[in-house]
């Protein structure tokens, strides 16, 4: 999906929890209009995805004005950041992760991917990297980045 993505930490005042406000900007309104129904369908399906190892997409909406269009979507906030950030911190502290932790993380990632691929239609992540894998303080892994999740029909 083309676009420029911005993310902001925000507060859900109804639920009283931190969330992530994501904006996907389309600089070409005509291109957006050509794919608008596909974009809506994709986000409608992603809102329904519910798995403990996948970052939850709470809400989305389209904002179409003047020459620009954007998709705004609200996702769960994972407090400890990306796996990449976590590994950089542990490397600075000269600590290596043991094999048991790596196995637990890999099992959680594979569980999330298996779930996505078993959806109807299947969902392909499209950009699984240490920047799109997140870790919580309790060691729970979540894959995210709604921008790169693709529905396959």
Helix (H, G, I), strand (E, B) or coil at 146: helix
Q: What percentage of residues in the chain have a pLDDT greater than 90?
A: 50
- Cβ proximity of 12 and 61 under 8 Å: no
User: Domain range spanning residue 128?
Assistant: 4-151
- Cβ proximity of 123 and 117 under 8 Å: yes
Q: 98-131, pLDDT tens digit by residue? A: 899 999 999 999 999 999 999 988 988 888 999 9
Task: Read off the CATH number of the domain in which 66 is found.
Answer: 1.10.510.10
How many domains are there within the chain?
1
**Confidence band, pLDDT 50/70/90 cuts, at residue 3:** low
Residue 84 CB neighbour total at 10 angstroms: 15
Indicate if the pLDDT at residue 133 is higher than 60: yes
- Cβ proximity of 143 and 53 under 8 Å: yes
**Confidence band, pLDDT 50/70/90 cuts, at residue 56:** very high
pTM of the model: 0.85
Alpha helix segments (H runs only) across 11-152: 29-48, 83-92, 99-118
pLDDT for residue 153: 41
pLDDT for residue 111: 98
pLDDT for residue 148: 45
- The CA distance from 109 to 76, in Å, is 17
């Amino acid at each position: 999906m083309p676009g420029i993505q911005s993310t902001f930490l925000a507060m859900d005042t109804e639920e009283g929890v931190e969330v992530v406000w994501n904006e996907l900007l389309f600089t070409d309104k005509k291109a957006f209009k050509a794919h608008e129904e596909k974009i809506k369908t994709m986000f409608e399906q992603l809102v329904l995805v519910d798995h403990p190892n996948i970052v939850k997409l709470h809400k989305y909406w389209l904002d179409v004005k003047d020459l620009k269009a954007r998709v705004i979507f609200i996702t769960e906030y994972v407090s400890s950041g990306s796996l990449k950030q976590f590994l950089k911190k542990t490397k600075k502290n000269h600590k290596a992760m043991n094999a048991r932790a790596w196995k637990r993380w890999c099992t959680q990632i594979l569980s999330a991917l298996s779930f996505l691929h078993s959806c109807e239609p299947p969902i392909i992540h499209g950009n699984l990297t240490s920047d799109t894998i997140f870790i919580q303080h309790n060691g729970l892994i979540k894959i995210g980045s709604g921008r790169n999740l693709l529905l396959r029909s």
